[in-house]
């Protein structure tokens, strides 16, 4: 049987102890310096890479992986939580992109483009309101880090698509939406756009939408952060290729899913 040995305590005089501290301090300083240099060098290298959608391509590659994971996780069976009226708060009108011009609701039309060879539509708010009305109380999540529970009413985008997209035609993989002046626009995958909780909303908290919140019609898509919840819709385009997106072009990921 091996005997258990007890480590011997090593006693150093003051001079030896000071020398040991100097050696260890130099070693720590050199190690930290090398680590810092590697970090700074890596950041400098990253900054010199060719850009893709407003960010260097290595960062865009990581965002693309995140997008694929989020897209795979999303399904019609996975609904975001709903809340009670007592939970409803006040949604602040964050962002005015595409809302600068005056709005004449009587003249407003929603242009819908189906694809090559199919005629475009010009719909009124009454056309959207003729679809089954759906109400839901969900959490609006801003990419800035705040959230608020909000009550919405409108038509499911899935119902809108069934009504207006030509039957028998293959549904494209993407949807592009823009404000009437084109100042703000979002790109969506069809899977997210057709999710049961995605609405073309015309009411908020029991009242018609106000201009600052996107009257007369806006997108409410709880499976995405607020940047995808475009206000004052003017154009919906079904697309076979991934469309442009305002914040993607400014460094965010394209999917922006919760």
Q: What was the pLDDT predicted at 131? A: 98
- Is the pLDDT at 164 greater than 80, yes or no? yes
Please give the residue that has the higher pLDDT: either 96 or 197.
Answer: 197
Q: What was the pLDDT predicted at 95? A: 84
Report the range of poorest mean pLDDT among 46-50, 225-229, 242-246. 46-50
Q: What is the DSSP string of the chain?
A: -PPP-PPPPPP--HHHHHHHHHHHHHHHHHHHHHHHHHHHHHHHHHHHSPEETTEEHHHHHHHHHHHHHHHHH--TT-PPP---GGG--PPP----TT--S---TTT--EEEE--TTS--EEE-HHHHHTSPPEEEEEEEE-TTS-EEEEEEEEEEHHHHHHHHSPTTSPPPSEEEEE-TTSSSEEEEEHHHHTSTT-EEEEEETTEEPPGGGTTT-EEE-TTB-GGGS-SS--EEEEESSPPP-TTGGGTS-SS-B-
Q: What was the pLDDT predicted at 117? A: 84
Q: What was the pLDDT predicted at 42? A: 44
- Is the pLDDT at 176 greater than 90, yes or no? yes
Q: What was the pLDDT predicted at 38? A: 39
Report the range of poorest mean pLDDT among 44-48, 140-144, 212-216, 225-229. 44-48
The CATH fold assigned to 57-250 is: Sulfite Oxidase; Chain A, domain 2 (3.90.420)
CA–CA distance, 186 with 219 (Å, rounded to integer)? 10
Backbone phi, psi, residue 41, to 5°: -65, -40
Report the range of poorest mean pLDDT among 34-43, 54-63, 236-245. 34-43
- Is the pLDDT at 110 greater than 60, yes or no? yes
Residue ranges of domains in the chain: 13-48, 57-250
CA–CA distance, 225 with 30 (Å, rounded to integer)? 44
pLDDT in tens, 13-52: 556 545 654 555 455 445 555 444 434 444 444 445 455 5
What integer is the mean pLDDT of 81-85?
Answer: 98
CA–CA distance, 176 with 48 (Å, rounded to integer)? 32
Q: Residue 200 pairs with which residues in a beta bridge?
A: 155, 219
- Is the pLDDT at 98 greater than 70, yes or no? yes
Q: What was the pLDDT predicted at 55? A: 57
Q: What was the pLDDT predicted at 101? A: 85
What integer is the mean pLDDT of 136-146?
Answer: 96
What integer is the mean pLDDT of 80-95?
Answer: 95
CA–CA distance, 204 with 201 (Å, rounded to integer)? 8
Look at the pTM and tell me if it is higher than 0.85: no
Percent of the chain past pLDDT 70, that is, above it, reads: 72
Q: ∠ CA 190-195-197 to the nearest 5 degrees?
A: 140
CA–CA distance, 233 with 219 (Å, rounded to integer)? 7
CA–CA distance, 57 with 46 (Å, rounded to integer)? 8
Q: What was the pLDDT predicted at 102? A: 86
* 216 cis-preceded (ω within 30 degrees of 0): yes
- Is the pLDDT at 121 greater than 80, yes or no? yes
């Amino acid at each position: 049987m091996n005997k258990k040995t007890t480590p011997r305590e090593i006693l150093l005089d003051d001079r030896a102890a000071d020398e040991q501290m100097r050696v260890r301090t130099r070693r720590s300083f050199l190690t930290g310096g090398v680590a810092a240099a590697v970090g700074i060098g890596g950041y400098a290298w990253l900054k010199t890479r060719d850009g893709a959608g407003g960010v260097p391509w290595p960062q865009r590659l990581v965002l693309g992986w995140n997008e694929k994971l989020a897209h795979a996780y999303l399904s019609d069976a996975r609904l975001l939580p709903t809340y009670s009226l007592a939970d409803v708060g006040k949604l602040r009108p964050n962002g005015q992109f595409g809302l600068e011009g005056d709005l004449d609701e009587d003249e407003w039309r929603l242009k819908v483009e189906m694809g090559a060879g199919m005629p475009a539509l010009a719909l009124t708010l009454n056309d959207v309101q003729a679809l089954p009305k759906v109400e839901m109380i969900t959490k609006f999540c801003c990419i800035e880090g705040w959230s608020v529970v909000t009550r919405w009413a409108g038509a499911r985008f899935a119902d809108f698509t069934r009504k207006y997209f030509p039957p028998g035609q293959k549904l494209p993989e993407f949807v592009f939406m823009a404000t009437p002046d084109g100042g703000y626009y979002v790109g969506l995958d069809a899977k997210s756009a057709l999710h049961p909780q995605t609405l073309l909303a015309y009411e908020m908290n029991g009242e018609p939408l106000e201009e600052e919140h996107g009257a007369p019609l806006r997108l409410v898509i709880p499976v995405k952060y607020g940047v995808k919840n475009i206000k004052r819709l003017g154009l919906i385009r079904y697309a076979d290729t991934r469309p442009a997106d305002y914040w993607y072009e400014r460094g965010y990921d394209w999917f922006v899913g919760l």
